[in-house]
Structure 1
Amino acid sequence: MAHAENDDTTLYLIDAMALAYRAHYIFIKRPLINSKGENTSAAYGFTNSLLKLISDHEMEHIAVVFDVPSQDGTFREDIYEDYKAHRDPPPEDLLDNLPRIKAIVRAMDIPVAEVEGVEADDVIGTLARDAEHDGADVVIVSPDKDFKQLLSPSISMYKPARGDQDFEHITAESFREEMGLEPSQFIDMLALWGDSSDNVPGVPLIGEKTSQKLLREYPDVESVIAHADEVGGKRGQNLKEFADQARMSRKLVQIKTDVDFGLDWHQLRQANPDMNELRRLFQVFEFESLLDRVDLNGDGTDASASSQTTSGDDSDALSFDFGPYEAVKELDPDVVDYGFIQHRDELEAFAETLAEHDRYAFDTETTSTDSMIASLVGMSFAWTPHEATYVPTPLPDGTSTQDVLDVLRDVLEAPSTLIGHNLKYDLVVMRRHGVDVQGTIFDTMIAHYLLHPEQAQNLNDVARSILNYKMEPIENLIGSGRSQITMREVDIADAARYACEDADISLQLAEPLEEALREIDLWTIAAEMEFPLVRVLAEMEHTGIRVDTDVLDAISERLADELDDIGSQIYELAGTEFNINSTQQLGTVLFEKLDLPVISKTSTGRPSTKESVLEELSTKHDLPGLVLDWRKTYKLKSTYLDSLGELVHPETNRIHTSFNQARTATGRLSSSDPNLQNIPIRTPVGREIRKAFVPREGWQLMAADYAQIELRILASMSGDEAMQETFRSGGDIHTDAAARVYDIDPDDVTRDQRRKAKEVNYGIPYGVSPWGLAQRLRTSVEEAQELIDQYRKSYPGVASLLNQLVEEARDKGYAETLRGRRRPIPDLTASNSNRRSAAERIAVNMPIQGTQADMIKIAMNSIDSRIRQSQLDSRMLLQVHDELVFDVAPGEEDALKSLVETEMNAALPLDGVPVVVDIALADNWLEAH
């Protein structure tokens, strides 16, 4: 394209979301946080790029194009309902920056182009072609590769570049030189290759290089499909089998250039930036360096001064460096030394070499993300950065999986230091394949979680955050959606490259993560609590728990009758039958038929029927309360009673829940498949579900529960003498609280008063608000506020602690437990009062709940160690909230009870308050609890 640097017939189209994403991740390791606690990284980085563009190119025609989500989606969802289905939602910090970016763009008098229901790519594509047809040149500013399909003699791209360059200029000519294809063929290339970020399936086993090669021989997708027999092999077979999928993918990736949205590119002009508004915005967002660079620290009297007038030589105000952008690293075959074992003699030599290293990274490749059904496909090892070895199972020479494991068994079961990401999964897989991997654990997922508990913990995100490294997506190998294959079907060379990268990057992460943990005194928690717990949880998952499905079926039948009964009552009150599960139909009944007040609305503007709304409406009409009862009953039946039986493992006949060690910001464990933490224990039916959890034949279940542990932690941390005395004397903390709050004798406390005091007791550690307490008690906000006020007067030590915790967290920027676990809380200084209030509740809750989490984790490690040392057959099965559940072998009841009680009591002693553990044995979990 011939540049029109001083020509008013060049249109610059800026892809807002792509540049905002890029700016956000540039600063991911060191986010820009202003004095209000707001993350302004995306707005700063975007503005920096935009100003650089303006300083380098005089421009008149320009627009910044945004996506505008529509509840009806786009035409691409009509073609393929899973389009972008697996894409993670944008980070909240990024979304918070979009209004800032728009405000800055508008202050610069740059048009904002956005069309509801039309993706930004299609807006840009249509504007670009319209301008091209009118004889104008077009520059698309975006890092998105998809725009390469639009390249022509008149349309080019500015891609934010790596290194010390400003923008990489991509033209139709440079594309042809690099790819050996015409730009229009890039649509076909993407159709065959697929796009994992948008969940475009493509054709399995056809990646970037293969699609490029095929299109050099055949001009388009249809021609490639027509010559599938000539392609041959598995790829040729897939081209025939997934031909329609390739055609569909082409429709998904092709940018529309004929959208009728009424925008005229001639009107997209920058003319008169509002320098006063720009100065104000930069001051509000605290972009001091940009104030200097754009020379906005003056008096600002010339509000009409165009930025173009100051874009001259290098000394000019707008001539500045592109910013702190670091090139994102990716796999470079010339830098790494990755290989795989093909023959048994190579394997034996490798085992001898591996045995010489007492610290190495380890990763497994399998056929499933479920460790209890996954079949081992291979293992990767790394002990030197940029070098790794993959051991496929079986080997290419026919050496069986079992023989491979036998060769490696001694070294895998030796006491080395094992580095990996989410090692619990690998330990369970290996245990199922007969290898008990030993050694000290260094789990990079857990290490990163301790440092950044609220960030994403998958290996891709951690590598991007810590190493500024982008890993190869697994979708490149196995595809996605219905056409997804398993790692078993992937070419060994491709699987080896992917697996070696996993092990290598895990190894490279270990050192900086350990340094960071030591720097802020979290290494002890990692090394002595969290890393050892990985092995304990792996053992618990592998063991599983027995479930009596007959009990589940009986409860399910009864609940079906209850649902029918509640439904009949709802229909009678509504005067009509409707789908109770349909929020839209329920809204019609509540707000149109019954004329109940609208409490809040959804993001689409419809009246909300969420739980808190129904709770509030239940004080005005009986129907909302019945709907709540129906929902709870329906959820119990569908989530647990109708699905628990399906989770029984076909080989073990037990349920193997997954324990999530890096999911909650407080440090507490969660579980999934099934989520045992969510089985309600306050309702009769919820408790009854526990009756289905039973021991092995001839054994017993034992449940050990910390008694009122969060309140005991609160009493200890606060030093409140009244609360501590209740616990020391063995009194009832809820009765005593009610007596103090209502200023009556404990003997005169009514059942309802104790109930209310109990809600306050348990609400305080969670930073409960008067409104929240009113919802729980179904009372007025005024009464709830009075209860909280009286509670604070009754327990002055507690009241003082709550204020202290907030102030300490605000001062430090984080809350911490008694053992030093941290949770960053940047919103404590947020200007938004709702966000600030929520942050204050976290500052109160985290030290208490997090300390409880630390306590039970320490106990679990100690108990597991003692069970092994004592050579008991009994096993720890479950951890749910403050409770541990065990399978108890005959004759080991007393020994295990004594062991568990001792270790749980000693895990984390509390000053001024005794720790009490309730223990019981029975034939099912309900009776043992």
Structure 2
Amino acid sequence: MSDNSQKKLFLLDAYALIFRSYYAFIKNPRITSKGLNTSAIFGFLLTLEEVLQKKKPSHIAVVFDTPAPTFRHEMFREYKANRDETPEDIKKAVPYIKSLIEAYNIPVIDCPGYEADDVIGTLAKKASEKGFTTYMMTPDKDFAQLVTDNTFMFKPSRSGNESVQWGVEDIKREFSVQRPEQVIDILALMGDSSDNIPGAPGVGPKTAMKLIAEYGSVEELFRNTGKLKGKLKEIIENNREQIELSKKLATIVLDVPVEFNEKKLETEIPDSQKLKALFDELEFRTAGTRILIEIEKQEKPKEKEPGILPAESIQGSLFAETSEIAATSTRSSINDVSHNYMLISGEEELGEIINQSVKLKEFCFDTETTSIDPLNSEIVALALSWQKGAGYLIHFPDSREETEKLLQIIRPLLENPGILKIGQNIKFDIQVLANYGIEVRGPFFDTMIAHYLLEPDMRHNMNLLSETYLSYTPVHIESLIGDKGKNQKSMRSVPADQLKEYAVEDADVTYQLKNIFEPRLKAEGLSDLASGIEMPLIRVLADMERNGVILDREELKLITGSLRDDIIALEKEIYSLAGTEFNISSPKQLGDILFVNLKLDDNARVTRTRQFNTSEEILQRLKHKHPIIEKVLEYRGLKKLLSTYVETLPQLVDKKTGRIHTSFNQAVASTGRLSSNNPNLQNIPIREERGREIRKAFIPEEGHIFFSVDYSQIELRLMAHLSRDRGMISDFLSGNDIHAATASKIFRIEIKDVTREMRSRAKTANFGIIYGISSFGLSERLTIGRKEAKELIDGYFTSYPGVKAY
């Protein structure tokens, strides 16, 4: 490659990306039918695809740490000693990831005695000398010290945000330094809790940046300690050796004995046969298929066909909750695809269209409204489509009376139970039309729900589905009404001709997606689930959301007063136990009280901002050491009840109906459960007495009652049946409470001695373990240590060996 401007090298920090991938899916891990947790593998694959498809590097390598101790361990025996053991699921994933990298024909580089940071730094330096632009792909801030005019940090995308590229100016701004290499001095002062680099006690990022901004380096700081004052002067002077050691530990070395072979680093076409075998074993069906299609296109370039294409894009960007990566050059848009979208004018023309359409077997519709609140929004337009590339828009006037006249003409089509109604999040459209007395009748086909059944771990918004499955980029709503915020325009302000292109395109794309998803549902044996349960449920949820629930505000007022009195009483108790008044809600002040004044833990952990960690998990472990801990936990619980529920719920009551209206989500939880938001009514506390009091504020309409129906531990009964575990089957047949029975086995006590807390833990274990929860995940849910969580899981499998075998 003769043109140096094209020499673009990507160096991937393997373990940093692997751990990041694993924890990105920690709440909803990807588990194969054989029980293998593929979260780390899948996440790494998507990250790799993000680089290859979006950044198109000319050269690439993946750099691993080795198990061998490094020179830093020789300098400081406690280096990284505080790190938890690598999760077993990651250990199992690494060989697959290395096989994946091999199948992509990408070199793996490591060097015993050195960390991946050092290898990447050395390679980046050598690449720079050879005219490369180098991108160090890692979320690790330590790499900031290596950034130069042609060496960049590349932080992968996360939580829907774009990936971030840091150059020299970015580092200077982010760390308040004159040169990137001064980041080393900042790390020397503030330390790094993740690597157990001590730094200067009590010096956090702000102080470290301020000192280096003023003195330039720790060496210059040592020469000017006379200018410092008070405790800071004492800290710097008394910890000189520790700071100097920390600087050595934080410095990435650039002379690792690794070869820089330009030829071997060249990006090559992946081995599709090896990848297919891996994708099959790992059950990466959809993403795998699309990646293999892209590889085939590289092997046999084809001219792009006009129109909206079948699925030929790649799904993949990690931490956008697995959004797609499709080469933008392969996508079409409304500007280069032939289409016939028509604006209907007048009642007569509308009547003719509806008279023709009532003979249809199916059609797609989409509403455009004044807001995203279905209960209070007004309809602006209705789009219809039942043929690829064609459709109609009915644009409604501002007058509600005139709008209702037009809707009466459309009513026979929408309320015809013999025609399949297609939509994307059709529940919203059903509720909007209900505002005008239109009862949209099924059967329904919702492309969002269909895709959820096919790919529960993916995102399901229409633009993403269109780009992924149709290689087509729809018009974005922001181009019509602007970005979200106070200056965003109303749909009523959009000219009808402009709105027609946007709205009918939505209906057209959704109609085409239906024709892709319907046969896939059938092929994967999901048609009955879709048509028999999920699609009919849409109507039920729409009705539930519109009905809402009555809130007894007077009851909540009583609870508010009682909670505030208890909080004030707890504050006084905590101040008495601490020996001083302080802001209990301040993690920093609380940490100082617990670990400096009361000295409850000599090895107390600090956060990245050098504050003591006062998370619930930490406090739960210290409950036995001092009565103040119990009071602080109780205080936090009451404050949360007050702010999250008691004071907030009355503000969410709809002024028009006098009720609270939540939204039920069918396509969020990958386990198939419904979730709730705006507000989350499934999260009203019940375990504590105070939480149960809040639930009493939700009351039925006069003359009605609340009636609760639930399957009795259905998942566990299925597990008992499928695993044939004798112990679990016996527990069910005995008539004992299954969670109490599990607790008695795990904790090795009589069932009569099982406490409420033990049963609660056993219940969490029961429902978590059968879905493949890790010790980390269980520790997070139960706010216990990972060791205790692992012991709980081990005890569970000892009690139910058949479940483990299954």
In structure 2, do the counterparts of structure 1 residues 527 and 678 end up closer, same or farther at CA, with 3 Å as the change threshold?
same
- Hey, what's the Cα distance between the residues in 2 that align with 1:632 and 1:641? 12
Query: Are residues 1:529 and 2:546 paired?
Result: no
Q: Which residue of 2 aligns with 1:351?
A: 354
Residue identity opposite 2:453 in structure 1 = L
Tell me if structure 1 keeps the 8 A contact 2:446–2:535: yes
Residue identity opposite 1:697 in structure 2 = E
In structure 2, do the counterparts of structure 1 residues 435 and 773 end up closer, same or farther at CA, with 3 Å as the change threshold?
closer
Displacement of 1:425 in angstroms is: 0.8
Q: Which residue of 2 aligns with 1:765?
A: 767
Displacement of 1:631 in angstroms is: 2.1
Q: Which residue of 2 aligns with 1:613?
A: 618
Q: Which residue of 1 aligns with 2:438?
A: 435
In structure 2, do the counterparts of structure 1 residues 638 and 263 end up closer, same or farther at CA, with 3 Å as the change threshold?
closer
Q: Which residue of 1 aligns with 2:503?
A: 499
In structure 2, do the counterparts of structure 1 residues 595 and 438 end up closer, same or farther at CA, with 3 Å as the change threshold?
same
- Hey, what's the Cα distance between the residues in 2 that align with 1:350 and 1:782? 67
Tell me if structure 2 keeps the 8 A contact 1:619–1:778: no
Q: Which residue of 2 aligns with 1:800?
A: 802
Query: Are residues 1:509 and 2:513 paired?
Result: yes
- Hey, what's the Cα distance between the residues in 2 that align with 1:717 and 1:592? 53
Q: Which residue of 2 aligns with 1:444?
A: 447
Secondary structure, aligned partner of 2:669: coil
In structure 2, do the counterparts of structure 1 residues 719 and 588 end up closer, same or farther at CA, with 3 Å as the change threshold?
same
Query: Are residues 1:671 and 2:673 paired?
Result: no
- Aligned match for 1:756, one of 740, 755, 758: 758
Q: Which residue of 1 aligns with 2:707?
A: 702
Residue identity opposite 2:767 in structure 1 = P
- Hey, what's the Cα distance between the residues in 2 that align with 1:670 and 1:352? 40
Query: With structure 2 as the length reference, what TM-score do the two structures score?
Result: 0.62
User: Aligned ranges for residues 827-906 of structure 1 at < 5 Å?
Assistant: none
- Hey, what's the Cα distance between the residues in 1 that align with 2:787 and 2:138? 44
Q: Which residue of 2 aligns with 1:381?
A: 384
Query: Are residues 1:456 and 2:473 paired?
Result: no
Tell me if structure 2 keeps the 8 A contact 1:52–1:320: no
Residue identity opposite 2:403 in structure 1 = T
Cα deviation digits, residues 67-122 of structure 1 (max 9, x gap): xxxxxxxxxxxxxxxxxxxxxxxxxx9xx9999999889747434479999x9xxx
- Aligned match for 2:581, one of 577, 590, 612: 577
- Hey, what's the Cα distance between the residues in 2 that align with 1:671 and 1:7? 55
Q: Which residue of 2 aligns with 1:364?
A: 367
Query: Are residues 1:719 and 2:736 paired?
Result: no
> Where does structure 1 lack aligned partners over 5 or more consecutive residues?
18-23, 25-32, 56-92, 120-125, 129-139, 143-195, 199-254, 265-271, 292-317, 805-929
Secondary structure, aligned partner of 1:483: coil
Q: Which residue of 1 aligns with 2:196?
A: none
Cα deviation digits, residues 447-487 of structure 1 (max 9, x gap): 11111112112112222222222222212212232211221
Q: Which residue of 2 aligns with 1:410?
A: 412
Q: Which residue of 1 aligns with 2:250?
A: none
Q: Which residue of 2 aligns with 1:623?
A: 628
- Hey, what's the Cα distance between the residues in 1 that align with 2:570 and 2:426? 46
- Hey, what's the Cα distance between the residues in 2 that align with 1:6 and 1:778? 57
Q: Which residue of 2 aligns with 1:926?
A: none
Tell me if structure 2 keeps the 8 A contact 1:360–1:418: yes
Tell me if structure 2 keeps the 8 A contact 1:424–1:538: yes
Q: Which residue of 2 aligns with 1:488?
A: 492
RMSD: 5.2
Secondary structure, aligned partner of 1:618: coil
Secondary structure, aligned partner of 1:662: coil
In structure 2, do the counterparts of structure 1 residues 700 and 338 end up closer, same or farther at CA, with 3 Å as the change threshold?
same
- Hey, what's the Cα distance between the residues in 2 that align with 1:515 and 1:359? 16
- Hey, what's the Cα distance between the residues in 2 that align with 1:780 and 1:46? 36
- Aligned match for 1:680, one of 682, 685, 692: 685
- Aligned match for 1:589, one of 576, 593, 616: 593
Residue identity opposite 1:409 in structure 2 = R
Displacement of 1:735 in angstroms is: 5.3
Displacement of 1:721 in angstroms is: 4.0
- Hey, what's the Cα distance between the residues in 1 that align with 2:350 and 2:378? 20
Residue identity opposite 1:649 in structure 2 = D
- Hey, what's the Cα distance between the residues in 2 that align with 1:731 and 1:499? 57
In structure 2, do the counterparts of structure 1 residues 743 and 541 end up closer, same or farther at CA, with 3 Å as the change threshold?
closer
Residue identity opposite 1:423 in structure 2 = I
- Hey, what's the Cα distance between the residues in 1 that align with 2:538 and 2:693? 31
Secondary structure, aligned partner of 1:620: coil
Displacement of 1:287 in angstroms is: 5.3
- Hey, what's the Cα distance between the residues in 1 that align with 2:3 and 2:757? 77
Q: Which residue of 2 aligns with 1:658?
A: 663
Secondary structure, aligned partner of 1:546: strand
Tell me if structure 2 keeps the 8 A contact 1:282–1:290: no
Query: Are residues 1:692 and 2:697 paired?
Result: yes
Displacement of 1:388 in angstroms is: 1.9
Q: Which residue of 2 aligns with 1:546?
A: 550
Displacement of 1:763 in angstroms is: 1.2
Tell me if structure 2 keeps the 8 A contact 1:344–1:399: no
Cα deviation digits, residues 398-457 of structure 1 (max 9, x gap): 981111111111111012111111111111111122100012111010111111112112
Q: Which residue of 1 aligns with 2:649?
A: 644
- Hey, what's the Cα distance between the residues in 2 that align with 1:49 and 1:772? 32
Displacement of 1:720 in angstroms is: 3.5
- Hey, what's the Cα distance between the residues in 2 that align with 1:327 and 1:335? 16
Secondary structure, aligned partner of 1:40: helix
Displacement of 1:621 in angstroms is: 3.2
Displacement of 1:634 in angstroms is: 1.6
Residue identity opposite 2:557 in structure 1 = D
Displacement of 1:541 in angstroms is: 0.7
Displacement of 1:616 in angstroms is: 2.0
- Hey, what's the Cα distance between the residues in 1 that align with 2:665 and 2:782? 32
Residue identity opposite 1:700 in structure 2 = I
Query: With structure 1 as the length reference, what TM-score do the two structures score?
Result: 0.54
Tell me if structure 2 keeps the 8 A contact 1:361–1:381: yes
Tell me if structure 1 keeps the 8 A contact 2:664–2:676: yes
Q: Which residue of 2 aligns with 1:900?
A: none
User: Aligned ranges for residues 45-444 of structure 1 at < 5 Å?
Assistant: 46=51, 107=123, 109-111=126-128, 112=134, 274-275=259-260, 325=327, 327-332=330-335, 335-394=338-397, 400-415=402-417, 416-444=419-447
- Hey, what's the Cα distance between the residues in 1 that align with 2:611 and 2:691? 32
- Hey, what's the Cα distance between the residues in 1 that align with 2:728 and 2:516? 44
Q: Which residue of 2 aligns with 1:555?
A: 559
Displacement of 1:509 in angstroms is: 0.6
Q: Which residue of 2 aligns with 1:472?
A: 475
Size of the aligned set, in residue pairs, is 589
Residue identity opposite 2:768 in structure 1 = Y
Residue identity opposite 2:675 in structure 1 = S
Displacement of 1:711 in angstroms is: 3.9
Residue identity opposite 1:474 in structure 2 = I
Secondary structure, aligned partner of 2:707: strand
In structure 2, do the counterparts of structure 1 residues 453 and 603 end up closer, same or farther at CA, with 3 Å as the change threshold?
farther
Residue identity opposite 1:404 in structure 2 = L
Displacement of 1:745 in angstroms is: 6.4
